[in-house]
Structure formats: C-alpha cells, structure tokens
Amino acid sequence: MKQSKGHQAVVQAINMGLDVGYGFTKGAVGKTGNQFEFRSLVCPATMAATDSDRGHINYTDATGNFYIGENAIMYGKPIMASVDSSYIDSDQYRIQALYAMALAAEKNANDDKVHTDITSINLVMGLPVEWYRKDARRLQENAKNWANNKTKVGAIAVVPQPVGTVADLQSDWNGGRQEDFSGMKVALVDVGHGTLDLIEIVNNRVQFESAKGVAEGISRLHHDVYTSLKTETKYKKQFEDSGRGRDEIDEIIRDRSFLCYGEPVNIEPLLRKCIQRTCSSINSIIDETWPKRGNLDRIIITGGGAELLADEFEELIPEKQLIIPEDPGFANAKGFAKLANDL
C-alpha cells in the first residue's frame, strides 16, 4: 500500500470468529458481537461485465475482481465447491475468508468511528471433526498468508467446528459464565451443510478423542427437496416452468415456496416430509453414537441445519434434554469470536 511521505500506517487489531461453510460463510466480531453472513458462492467478474454489473463486484485484490453470494448468482456462474477438505486450499475459500475479514473490519470501523489503514485480525476458525484431525495445521498455514491492502491475519487458531457452540453457550461477550455443564454428560450434534459432527462433553470438557464426523448434513434435505420437486406430480410441471435451479433450493426451503408465473407455490407438505426423513436419518446416527440416551444430561443440536430441523427434533428429543441455541446457525461463529478474545 502506497503511503504519503511521513505517513505512518494506522493499524487496528480486532478479534473475529469465521465459519466458512458450504452453504453460508458467517462471521462475528469479538467484544461487539457484530455478525454477518453471505452465501458461499464466488465467481470472477470478467472484463466483459457491463458497467452496471461491475457496480456489484463485492471483492477486489491483486488476484482479480469477484462477485460473492447472491451477486455471484445474479451476475456470474458460480461453481459449487465439492464437499471435501480440498475446499480449504481453493481460491473460493480464500476469497470468501478475505471478503469476510473486510466486512468485519468495516463493521468495527463503523462502531469505533476511527480511520485505519490496516486491520490486523486475530482469527479463530473451525473445521469439521474429520478434517480437523488431518487438516488443521494446513488451514492455519494457509491463513497466515491471507492479506490484502486493508486486512491481514494476526494470531490464528483452528478448532473443531462444534467447539464454537460450546464457547458461545458457556460465556457472554464479556467473558461472564452462562451455561454450566459441570457434572454433566452432553452430546453435541452439529448439522452443517454437508457434514454432521458428533462430540461428547463430560464435565465441561470436550472429549475430542471420541468425536466423529459423518458425510451427512442439511445438503441431504436440499437434495431430497430438489428431487421431490422434480419428480412429484403435484409440483413437477410448476417447478420446471419456474426455471428455478439446484443452487436456489436453500432459498425455496426458507421461503417454503417458489414463484411460478408470479404466483407462490406452497411446498409446506412436501417440505415437512423431507424434514422428517432428514431428521430420522440424523436421529439414527445419534442413536448409533449414544445407544443409551438416558445417560445423556443434555443433547445440543446446532449448526446451520438446526434452525430448519428444530421443530422436528423437539418431537424426537425430550424437552429437558434438548438444547438448541437461540441462533444455531451463528453459534459456532459467535463462539469462535469469543475464543478469539483470548488469543
């Protein structure tokens, strides 16, 4: 970054939790609790883009101009990432992380009303359990090189993904104690986009040695809904005529409808069946992991899928056992940010 003679760069440091998922990327800023999210979609903004389209570029650095999230769908052709740990080495992952860092710096600057040249970000990130075992060090080394002319990574820590929810439940933004799992045996189930992590907590300590990850997540629900819309007689013709694609299924699920010829088509009955099938599958995995549920004091369901599945899990798990964080999709990112305050 060029500086005028005699100008000394003003550097601020902030703490941030970053959850780069397959469905959404989520960030939270320590102390302030500011949070944000965007769809995990990236595509280059080519020189052929019109002046109007170029106004929707989200992120630019020495590697190019990029549309991110909804703009990637609107103005480009995003490629869905494959659900494996090679994701952390991809340009898509790096660009999403840098864009999230830029948003965190911007939000913090708005709060502090202080102009800074560079924001150094103390960063805590998570990885699905199975990836964490073999890839945590690699992600940490990658992240050390994330920088542009406005932000850079300061201290960096990588933790198992669901640990963020534990940190979020246990303390507030000032470090005060909230949930206390002393003397308890707790099952923690993190429903991600394409992964399902299961971790046991005993007396406030994570039993990481027995943790496991399964290639199952809310993507199962997405696939089920998409397949059902394309094949069930009640919806097939309208779904085809609507022109909606696979990458819009998340929005259709959240709206519980899609537009066809300007009129909403309610998919509530279909969605209810698909949610039941997804929850039944996850519930079976929970049973395999903890065959004697009576030994569990609490069962925590968290992650981006927990909000969609909450009503069904309330039917499957006794009320006194079940904990679903107030904002389960953000619980990991918020917990990471709280952990970043200790870096």
**313 located within any domain:** no
What confidence score (pLDDT) does residue 226 get?
A: 97
Q: How far apart are CA 244 and CA 113, in angstroms?
A: 42
Give the residues of the chain that fall short of pLDDT 50. Answer: 1-5
Contacts of 28 (CB under 8 A, 6+ apart): 16, 17, 34, 35, 330, 333, 334, 336, 337
What confidence score (pLDDT) does residue 10 get?
A: 64
Q: How far apart are CA 146 and CA 142, in angstroms?
A: 7
**280 located within any domain:** no
What confidence score (pLDDT) does residue 309 get?
A: 94
Structural domain boundaries enclosing 21:
11-164+334-340
Give the domain CATH number at 25: 3.30.420.40
What confidence score (pLDDT) does residue 99 get?
A: 95
Q: What is the C-alpha R_g of the chain? A: 21
* Total-model pTM: 0.88
Say how many domains are in the chain: 1
**328 located within any domain:** no
**296 located within any domain:** no
Tens digit of pLDDT for each residue in 156-175? 999 999 999 999 999 988 88
The one-letter code for the residue type at 46 is: T
**51 located within any domain:** yes
**126 located within any domain:** yes
Tens digit of pLDDT for each residue in 185-210? 999 999 998 889 999 999 988 898 88
